[in-house]
Amino acid sequence: MYLEHLRQLSDRLVAIQKPIMILDAIKWPAQVQTEFLEGKGKALPNIDQAFYAQQALRFAPDVVREELKTLRSDICRLLGGTDGLGRILLQNIEQYLLVIDMLEGRGTKAFGVCSQALYGSATDKMRGDKKTLLELSERLCRTFSSAAAEHLKRPYGNDIPAEKAVEMLSAKLNAYFNEGDIRVQLSNGIVSDAAAGGDVIKLNERAYFSELDLQVLEVHEGWVHVGTTLNGRRQPYATWLGVGSPRITAHQEGLAVLMETLTFSSFPQRARRVSDRVVAISLAEDGADFVEVYRHFIDKGLSEHDSYRVTQRVFRGGCVEGGSVFTKDLSYIKGFVENVNFIKSAIESGVPEILPMMFVGKVTLDDLPILYERYLEGVIAAPDYLPPMFRDLNGLFVWFGFSSGMSLVNLGRVQAHYSDVFAKLPHTTPVYTTQIMTEF
């Protein structure tokens, strides 16, 4: 009877949350970018509360709110207040209730308050550490925009049109997924260059891509976002693992960035883009308006296109005058650090076998212990789609085992030792070979 109740309650949550589409509810028309750049980035975009009021939500907030509250009561009654899986269901419900409040507050200060409650603030400290997300991101921005990063930049171009990119990315992903499990298609309704939803990866029909971009999309959108969705959908009872409330965003985005790193798919300019987003959020949280944040990145050397994109991601849903912003993009850095620390801790604690559960569905790190226990009991199914390093944990264990050991080394002293050696090297321009340029 417990498993029957779990499946029924889980299915109800999946159905209730389906029309709650956050990014769709806060998206801006493409012409906003065109008008802003044609105006030399001097005038605030004409986006306010009235604009959002004209963009009707795909659900009736009061109706969905009551459905969630009724489901909350039924979970407590049927599963009890101490059941671990029931608690995860309840936490997701609380998140969706807050999402409804956030979307009702589009274009107002209330939107930013709810966003911070859901995703956090740039001033939040890292879990178990004294450093803030902003401090870490500023350090990463310096690293990924350093002379060394520029020295490594390869002269590749974004010369692959979206239609060709769809074909190439499909070929890559068909080698990882079963036939028919994933689709790559063109879209004219997304602001970013690419986005994943369910079993579909959408590429912006106006965008151009490089081969490095496609490497990132393969593991970030494919292996992680779509892979965990499909793993969650195949659960026999905990079907909510196939959908995600904001509470899982940090794990999802951090895991995606981690996979970019472990597969050597990322590159300094991509990593800087992730760090820049935290800086943009901090500036906007402190009251900088859209133009001021945009000008900050122009002054840092970003192109007009990239400066607009990083700024627009932060201000969508909030107030272009600043102070109320969308803080979801904190999740990339926050989640990356937390996932790395979780893997190290699992290895140090002698339970590396829990690590494949990171891909079991849309989860948080706090969910994994109870999900692993229920996996051992046969309630939770093992993930079907797993990256190779998580399917055979030997290499991952060694990699992070060495990483943990290296934390004992005083890096400052090591750098001081080698700085004298490196200072004597002749200054050269990067040297590339044809083989380096064509192998991906």
What's the confidence (pLDDT) of residue 61? 97
How do beta strands 200-204 and 194-197 pair?
Answer: antiparallel
Span 168-194, pLDDT tens digits: 999 999 999 998 999 999 988 777 788
Using DSSP, state whether 160 is helix, strand or coil.
strand
Q: What share of the chain is helix, strand, coil (3-state, %, to 5)?
A: 65, 5, 30
Q: Which residues pair with 183 in a beta bridge?
A: 200
Could you give the CA distance from residue 255 to residue 348 in angstroms, rounded to a whole number? 19
Is the backbone of residue 301 left (phi > 0), alpha (psi -120 to 50) or beta?
Answer: left
Query: Is 310 buried (19+), middle (13-18) or exposed (0-12) by CB count in 10 A?
Result: buried
Could you give the CA distance from residue 352 to residue 345 in angstroms, rounded to a whole number? 9
What's the confidence (pLDDT) of residue 246? 95
Residue 209 parent element (H or E): strand 208-209
The number of residues in the chain equals 440
- Give the C-alpha distances (Å, rounded to integers) separating 108 from 116, 163, 284, 309, 421: 14, 38, 14, 21, 55
Span 202-215, pLDDT tens digits: 999 888 998 889 99
Structural tokens at position 165 = 């990119």
Task: Name the least confident of 51-65, 317-331, 374-388, 415-429.
Answer: 415-429
Q: How confident is the model at residue 428 (pLDDT cuts 50, 70, 90)?
A: low
What's the confidence (pLDDT) of residue 145? 66
Span 81-132, pLDDT tens digits: 789 999 999 999 999 999 999 999 999 999 999 999 999 999 988 776 678 8
Could you give the CA distance from residue 389 to residue 400 in angstroms, rounded to a whole number? 12
What's the confidence (pLDDT) of residue 41? 94
Span 331-380, pLDDT tens digits: 999 999 999 989 999 998 999 999 999 999 999 999 999 999 999 999 99
Residue 39 parent element (H or E): none
State percent of the chain over pLDDT 70: 93
Phi, psi (deg, nearest 5) at residue 160: -100, 110
* pLDDT at position 435 over 50: no
Q: Is the dihedral of CA 135, 344, 231, 89 positive or negative?
A: negative
Cα 312–Cα 281–Cα 359 angle in degrees, nearest 5:
90
For the chain, domain boundaries: 21-58+105-406
Closest of 256, 266, 280 to residue 141, by C-alpha: 280
What's the confidence (pLDDT) of residue 152? 63
Q: How confident is the model at residue 269 (pLDDT cuts 50, 70, 90)?
A: confident
**How much is the pTM?**
0.89
Phi, psi (deg, nearest 5) at residue 326: -95, 115
Could you give the CA distance from residue 331 to residue 290 in angstroms, rounded to a whole number? 21
Q: How confident is the model at residue 134 (pLDDT cuts 50, 70, 90)?
A: confident
Task: Name the least confident of 34-43, 155-164, 336-345.
Answer: 155-164
Cα 18–Cα 24–Cα 29 angle in degrees, nearest 5:
165
Q: Who has greater pLDDT, 265 or 355? A: 355
If you average pLDDT over every residue of the chain, what do you get?
90
Task: Name the least confident of 147-156, 246-255, 268-277, 318-327.
Answer: 147-156
Which residue type does 87 have? R
What's the confidence (pLDDT) of residue 405? 74
Buried b / exposed e across 192-225, counting CB within 10 Å, b at 16+?
ebbbbbebebbbbeebebbbbbbbbbbbbbbbbb
Using DSSP, state whether 210 is helix, strand or coil.
coil
